[in-house]
Amino acid sequence: MTQLTSRRRFRLQRRSLVAGLGGLAALGPIRLARAAGNPKVVVIGAGVAGLSASKTLSAEGVDHVVIEASERIGGRIYTESTTFGTPCDVGAHWLHNGETNPLVPFARRSGIDVYEAGEVEGLFAGGKWLEGDAEEEIWDEVDDAESAINRAVDRDRDVSLRSVMDSDTSPLAAFLVGAYEHAASVGSLSTIDWDRQEEGTDMFHDGALGSLAAAWGAEVPVQFNTAATRVDWSSRGVKVQTSSGTIEADAVIVTVPTSVLAKGAIKFGPDLPQETARAISDLPLGSYNHIVLQMTGNLFEVEEDTMLCYAGNGGTAGLLVNAGGSGLTYFDVAGDFGAKLTRQGEGAMVEFARAALRDMLGAEGLTSLTKAKAFPWEANPLAGGAYTAARPGRARARERLKRPVADRLFFAGEATSISKPATLDGAIAEGARAARVAADEVT
Ligand SMILES: Cc1cc2nc3c(=O)[nH]c(=O)nc-3n(C[C@H](O)[C@H](O)[C@H](O)COP(=O)(O)OP(=O)(O)OC[C@H]3O[C@@H](n4cnc5c(N)ncnc54)[C@H](O)[C@@H]3O)c2cc1C
């Protein structure tokens, strides 16, 4: 995800090279050690929201248990090192809202170099790099679209971005306004939800963000390979049925992605109140996936961490070239086009990236490509997509989802953040918020 609110494209600072986090040991499953008897709170999910909830509950002295369906912590933030022989962030890679993101000071304490991100420096469309007026035209279209959205918001109109934008806005400008940052195309984005998202400082790093988040959450005891299947809240407290038995508690904090909840992966008995169920379906996860390219040389002739955008072959993509000096380029597809391509499979995704490289760099581009792999999140049943975007007309869904149910069911995660949805720091803040409310109820 990127923040593209101004057309300034400059590199704000260079940095010294220090060792990244790729060398952090992979974290194996931690067995849960806790006192006998029922916990006060069950936290479902060990992504950053669940980890943050657990840290807060521990600080408040509330006995709790964290259950996680997979065998690792982090959820949608994850670093894998096997494919490319170097750490690759399969999910989140950017540190948004650097001013308030707790991972920023944690990274610095861990010896990771964190520095301000630049902005998009090159646009490729119609078979060439855009220059002069042609490039300015695209940025003018972006400005026009953002002004139109702001006017709609001023009149409290919660409609799709597309409905207020010029109908002849180019695919590249539409991508820059919508899918590149928000994972959904302009036809599926709410003006008010789009507008409420804070524009903090974006940061890059020369480490591996998934490993960083794993180190940040390593202190949290988690019961792995334990999927919640049903939450019974029919009488006092809750009974959480899992693949490893039932846990009784006073309250539950659910941090599972909304698209997973919408598919009924966890049943609730009785059914959730209509406003909560509706909020879950109004906050689907959009499509945003990395096709990671390992390349030799510097054919783009740019500095590391340079951002470029591509339109061609019927699609659009954003590139982060040589991320953190890793030699990996994140070629990102998103929104309607990205979702359609992703449904065609990893082979089609890689083929699209290869065709784009050929367009941008000629045949040499392909010879410099040593390895490519796509990481489709829609295919992951524990995620179901990248991150949430409220449907047009449904911007208030985030408020509805964060409302406690019967003072014992609490929902948290990036989806419940109003000003920082779709981000790590939004999810962390929401996990802590839900934990504080739950702690008040159970103590
Ligand atoms: C490709 C991609 C790029 C992104 N880029 C960025 C970025 O650059 N910067 C940024 O800030 N954010 C980015 N994001 C968004 C960010 O990753 C998320 O906002 C954040 O990780 C969400 O955290 P969470 O705890 O709310 O949810 P999750 O991380 O999804 O955690 C939920 C956990 O619940 C578990 N779970 C699911 N079902 C069950 C069940 N039935 N029982 C038990 N456990 C269950 C899951 O396995 C998971 O561990 C990106 C996301 C993707 C996919």
Domain spans of the chain? 25-82+97-114+204-284+391-442, 120-196+285-379
Per-residue pLDDT at 92: 97
Would you call 181 helix, strand, or coil by DSSP?
Answer: helix
Spatial neighbors of 72 by CB under 8 A, at least 6 apart, are 27, 29, 78, 214, 224
Q: How far is 19 from 26, CA to CA, in rounded Å?
A: 17
Closest listed residue to residue 103, CA positions, set 386, 443, 387, 420: 420
Q: What is the mean pLDDT for each group of 10 consecutive residues in the chain (443 residues)?
A: 35 27 36 66 98 98 98 97 96 95 96 94 97 98 98 98 98 98 98 95 92 96 98 97 97 98 98 98 98 96 96 98 96 98 98 98 95 97 98 98 98 98 98 98 96
Residues 209-243 have pLDDT tens digits of: 999 999 999 999 999 999 999 999 999 999 999 99
Helix, strand, coil fractions of the chain, as percent rounded to 5: 35, 20, 45
Residues 262-282 have pLDDT tens digits of: 999 999 999 999 999 999 999
β-bridge partners, 114: 205
Per-residue pLDDT at 36: 59
* Phi, psi at 238, each rounded to 5°: -140, 150
Per-residue pLDDT at 22: 38
Spatial neighbors of 279 by CB under 8 A, at least 6 apart, are 397, 398, 400, 401
**CATH number belonging to the domain at 120-196+285-379, selected among 3.90.660.10, 3.40.50.2020, 3.30.420.280, 3.40.309.10:** 3.90.660.10
Per-residue pLDDT at 349: 98
Distance of CA 74 from the midpoint of ligand 1 (Å): 7
The CA-based dihedral angle spanning residues 165, 166, 170, 175, taken in that order and rounded to the nearest 10 degrees: 0
Distance of CA 283 from the midpoint of ligand 1 (Å): 14
Q: Is 330 a pocket residue for ligand 1 (Cβ < 6 Å)?
A: no
**CATH number belonging to the domain at 25-82+97-114+204-284+391-442, selected among 3.40.50.2300, 3.50.50.60, 3.40.50.300, 3.40.50.1220:** 3.50.50.60
Q: How far is 352 from 357, CA to CA, in rounded Å?
A: 9
Residues 169-214 have pLDDT tens digits of: 999 999 999 999 999 999 999 999 999 999 899 999 988 999 999 9
Which amino acid residue places its CA nearest to atom 7 of ligand 1? 92
Instruction: Spell out where 296-413 has E strands.
Output: 306-312, 315-321, 328-334, 369-375, 409-411
54, 70, 77: residue to mutate for ligand 1 pocket, most atoms within 8 A of CB: 77
Per-residue pLDDT at 11: 25
